[in-house]
Structure formats: structure tokens, C-alpha cells
């Protein structure tokens, strides 16, 4: 499947967005273009929003092929990089609205943790919310989205490519005594 012109333009704009640059202790060092953080293996901040429906099913979506990291992978969380002069909470609300068309819901903040993989050095802020309305995906970032039981998402993650950072966020969330 080819990358659309809209996806390519979105990716180019995304690569130059100013995002928060932090140290290993999550202290802000400044802001840099997103692509520079990746290229220099520096640490950024990201948000992961675990979106459930009232039945407890989790929203899982497939990323577009134009994504810089994990193109075409399945993802168990909406989210993205925290922008310059933006808090984790502001980023979570913005990303959820952009990617899935969900806004105006209460987001519960959970833990923050450090994640590291090739080209992905990230302090992660985990949030959860409940939504029973329709999903309106951002076609430049999301190919498709659907709700499924958490156990099914975890089973599929063993058979298909899933984003390792959001899987880590989900597993950590599930390990908390108060989750689900």
C-alpha cells in the first residue's frame, strides 16, 4: 500500500514540530524538532491514552505507513509526542481529539515511565478514559480503529506487529491494583 500525498505532507510537517526534550530524569532541557530527537537518540516526552468503552473493551488502531516509528503497526493507545510548552495532560487531550476524534471526556492520569528502543527514547505519561461514541480517525495517522476485549488485543500482539511502547503502557496499567 502506497503512502498518500496527504500522509507524506503530514509526516513532513510532523518531523519539524517542536517537541519537549528532556533528560533521563524527565527534566526539561528545551525543545527540538521531532526528527532531530530521533536522529540524535535524545529523550522526548510522549503520551499514551488507553481508551475504553463502558463494556471495558479497548480501542486498538492501526497506524498509517507514513509514521516515522512503527509504520503500519497496531497500537493499543492513542497518543504522541508532547509539544513544546505543553504538559502531559494537554498533549493527551490534544492527541486523543486529533487521532480518534474524541474530546470532552475525563482523562485519568496514571504513572509515568521511561521507555527505550532503537530510535525511541521516551518518558511516557499514561492516561485512560471511557468513550461510547463514534470514532473519527485522522486518516493521515490512523488507518482503522476498533474496540476489542483487552485479552484479544494482547493475544493479537503476539501474532501481529504492535507498538512496543504502547504495549508496555498497557501492561503497566493492567498491573496496577485499580485498573479494570
Residue 179 has pLDDT above 90, yes or no: no
Identify the CATH homologous superfamily for domain 5-175: Nucleoside Triphosphate Pyrophosphohydrolase (3.90.79.10)
- Judge whether 45 and 81 are in contact, CB under 8 Å: yes
Q: What is the pTM of this model?
A: 0.91
Residue set of the binding site: 95, 99
- Determine the pLDDT at residue 27: 97
* C-alpha distances out from residue 79 to 1, 2, 19, 156, 177, Å: 24, 24, 13, 20, 23
Q: Is 35 helix (H, G, I), strand (E, B) or coil?
A: helix
In tens, the pLDDT along 22-45 reads 999 999 999 999 889 989 999 999
Residue 12 has pLDDT above 70, yes or no: no
35 CB-near residues (< 8 Å, 6+ apart): 15, 16, 68
CB environment 82-113: b (16+ within 10 A), e (fewer)? bbeebebeebbbbbbbbbbbbeeeebeebeeb
- Judge whether 108 and 29 are in contact, CB under 8 Å: no
Q: Using only C-alpha atoms, what is the Rg of the chain? A: 15
In tens, the pLDDT along 121-166 reads 999 999 999 999 999 999 989 999 999 999 999 999 999 999 999 9
Pick the closest to residue 132 from 59, 48, 49, 47 (CA basis): 59
Report the length, in residues, of the chain.
180
- Judge whether 81 and 147 are in contact, CB under 8 Å: no
Residue set of the binding site for Mg(2+): 95, 99
**Could you tell me the pLDDT band of residue 99, with boundaries at 50, 70 and 90?**
very high
5 CB-near residues (< 8 Å, 6+ apart): none
Residues 47, 48, 49, CA angle at the centre, nearest 5°?
120
- Judge whether 20 and 86 are in contact, CB under 8 Å: yes
- Determine the pLDDT at residue 7: 61
Q: What is the mean pLDDT of the chain?
A: 92
Spatial separation of the C-alpha atoms in residues 39 and 26, rounded to whole Å: 19
What are the sequence ranges of the domains in the chain? 5-175
Residue 57 has pLDDT above 60, yes or no: yes
Amino acid at each position: 500500500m502506497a503512502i498518500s500525498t496527504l500522509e507524506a505532507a503530514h509526516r513532513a510537517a510532523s518531523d519539524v514540530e517542536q517537541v519537549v526534550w528532556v533528560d533521563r530524569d524527565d527534566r526539561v532541557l528545551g525543545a527540538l524538532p521531532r526528527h532531530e530527537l530521533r536522529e540524535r537518540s535524545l529523550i522526548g516526552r510522549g503520551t499514551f491514552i488507553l481508551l475504553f468503552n463502558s463494556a471495558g473493551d479497548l480501542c486498538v488502531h492501526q497506524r498509517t505507513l507514513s509514521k516515522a516509528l512503527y509504520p503500519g503497526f497496531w497500537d493499543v493507545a492513542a497518543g504522541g509526542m508532547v509539544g513544546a510548552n505543553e504538559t502531559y495532560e494537554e498533549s493527551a487531550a490534544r492527541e486523543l481529539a486529533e487521532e480518534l476524534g474524541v474530546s470532552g471526556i475525563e482523562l485519568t492520569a496514571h504513572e509515568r515511565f521511561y521507555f527505550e528502543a532503537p530510535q525511541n527514547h521516551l518518558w511516557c505519561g499514561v492516561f485512560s478514559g471511557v468513550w461510547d461514541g463514534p470514532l473519527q480517525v485522522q486518516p493521515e495517522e490512523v488507518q482503522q480503529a476498533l474496540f476489542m476485549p483487552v485479552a484479544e488485543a494482547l493475544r493479537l500482539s503476539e501474532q501481529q506487529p504492535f507498538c512496543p511502547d504502547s504495549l508496555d503502557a498497557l501492561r503497566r496499567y493492567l498491573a496496577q491494583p485499580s485498573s479494570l
